[in-house]
Amino acid sequence: MPKYLLLKHYRGGPEPHRPVPPMDQWAPEDVEAHMAFLRHVSELLEKNGEYVDAQALTPARTWVRYGGPDAAAVTTDGPLPETSDLVAGWYMIDVESHERAVELAAYVSSEPGPGGEPLYEWIDVREVMSEAPSEG
């Protein structure tokens, strides 16, 4: 069974289908509904036997590279720190097919936003390369 990473972003990706303000500016009941949906997704994946991992990342980013011999590492917050792609977290799933991964990603994207309407958030679906050579 192939593994997929469903990546959620703080920013970046295609033009938002439905632009929304940051969550701390939503009505409290909409915040609750959104968080309840995320819990439900994890439970659903676990129940289906498709769950591998789910993690959230803080928005702070540091780009690092080797500084050369006897030099300190070089760090920066990157080109265009305000607008560049920024991953917010992921679900790692273990599923039957690419179609199933897309189906689950679309379901995650239907998470409720302000007013209880779906967020239509873009989800980045990436297949994880397997270690072993494929059979046959």
Partner 1 sequence: MIDEPVQRLDEGALRTLVPRVLAGLVRRGEDFDAAEDALQEALLEALRVWPEHPPRDPRAWLTTVATRRVVDARRREAARHRREETTYAEPRPAATEEGDDTLFLLFCCCHPDLAPASQVALTLRAVGGLTTREIADAFYVPEATMAQRISRAKRTLRGRRLDQPGDLAIGLRVLYLVYTAGHAGRVDLAGEAIRLARQLTLATEEPEARGLLALMLLNHARLPARLDPEGRIVTLDRQDRGLWDTREIAEGVRVLQSALAVQTEERRPGRYQIEAAVAALHDDAASAEETDWPQILAWYDDLVALTEDPVRQDPAAMLGRAVAVGHVLGAAAGLRETDRLREVIGDRHRWHAVRGHLYELDGDLPAAASAYAEAARRATNVAERDHLVRQAARARVG
Shorter beta-carbon distance to partner 1: residue 53 or 103: 53
Shorter beta-carbon distance to partner 1: residue 5 or 38: 38
Query: Which parts of this chain interact with partner 1 (CB under 8 A)?
Result: 22-28, 31-32, 35-36, 39, 56, 58-60
Beta bridge partners of 87: 9
Shorter beta-carbon distance to partner 1: residue 22 or 69: 22
Task: Quote the least distance from Cβ 25 to partner 1, whole Å.
Answer: 6
Shorter beta-carbon distance to partner 1: residue 56 or 106: 56
Shorter beta-carbon distance to partner 1: residue 53 or 127: 53
Task: Quote the least distance from Cβ 99 to partner 1, whole Å.
Answer: 30
Task: Quote the least distance from Cβ 71 to partner 1, whole Å.
Answer: 26
Under 8 Å between Cβ of 32 and 115: no
Beta bridge partners of 64: 75
Residue 37 φ then ψ, to 5°: -65, -40
Task: Quote the least distance from Cβ 70 to partner 1, whole Å.
Answer: 26
Task: Quote the least distance from Cβ 136 to partner 1, whole Å.
Answer: 30
CA angle 91, 96, 101 (to 5 degrees): 40
